A and B are shown apart, each in its own frame.
Chain A
Amino acid sequence: MRVKSIAFHSINYVLFGSFAFICIYPFYYLLLVSVSNSDAVSSGLVVLWPSGFNVEAYKRVFVYKGITEAFFISVSRALAGTVVTLFFSSMFAYVLTKKELFGRVFMYRSTVFALYISAGLIPWFITMKQLGLADNYLLYILPTAISPFLLILIKTYLEQISPHLEESAMMDGAGYFTVFMWIMMPVSVPVLAAVGVFSAVTQWNSWQDNFYLVNNPHLQTIQLILINFLREADAFSNPANMNDLLANASRQRISPFSLKTTIAVVSIVPVMLFYPFLQRYFVKGIMVGAIKG
Chain B
Amino acid sequence: MRFMVNRNVARSKNRWLLSGKATLLLMAVPCFVLLVAFVYLPLWGWSIAFFDYKAGLKFSQMDFMGFKSFTYMFKQPNFANVIRNTLVMSGLYFLTSPVPAIFAILLAEMNSKRVRQWIQTTTTLPYFISWVLVYAVFFSLFSVGDGIVNTLLLNFGWIKQPLNPLANPHIVWFFQTGIYLWKNLGFSAIIYIAAITSIDPELYDAASVDGAGRLNKIKHITVPGLVSTFLTLLLLGIGNLLNNGFEQYYLFYNAIVADKIEVLDYFIYRIGITMSDYSLSTAIGIFKTLFSILLITVANMIAKRVRGSGII
Q: Which residues of A line the B interface, CB within 8 A? A: 1, 5, 8-9, 12-13, 15-16, 19-20, 22-24, 26-27, 29-30, 33, 41-44, 46-47, 88-89, 91-92, 94-96, 98, 100-103, 107, 110-112, 114, 116-128, 131, 142-143, 145-146, 148, 175-177, 180, 201, 204-208, 212, 223, 226-227, 230, 255, 257, 260-261, 264, 267-268, 271, 275-276, 278-279, 283, 286-287, 290-291
Contact = CB atoms under 8 A, between A and B. Distances in A.
Q: Is chain B's interface secondary structure helix, strand, loop, or mixed overall? A: helix
Contacts of A122: 45, 48, 268, 272, 278, 281-282, 285
Given A47-B148, A124-B42, 7 more contacts: A23-B126, A92-B31, A94-B27, A110-B40, A142-B34, A227-B251, A230-B139
Most buried by A among B115, B133, B151: B133
Interface in B101-158: 106-107, 109-111, 115, 118-126, 128-133, 135-141, 143, 145-146, 148, 151-152, 154-155
A180 B194 CA distance: 30
B38 interface: yes
Interface size class of B (residues with CB under 8 A): 35 or more
Q: Is chain A's interface secondary structure helix, strand, loop, or mixed overall? A: helix
A23 B199 CA distance: 29
A90 to B, nearest CB: 10
B45 to A, nearest CB: 3
Interface stretch (B3-11, B70-78, B202-210, B289-297): B289-297
Contacts of A126: 42, 45, 48, 278
A230 B44 contact: no
B223 to A, nearest CB: 17
A264 B130 CA distance: 11
19 contacts: A9-B111, A24-B122, A26-B137, A42-B151, A44-B148, A91-B31, A116-B239, A117-B293, A118-B289, A119-B39, A119-B45, A119-B285, A120-B285, A125-B273, A146-B39, A177-B27, A257-B140, A271-B128, A279-B128
B43 A117 contact: yes
B1 interface: no
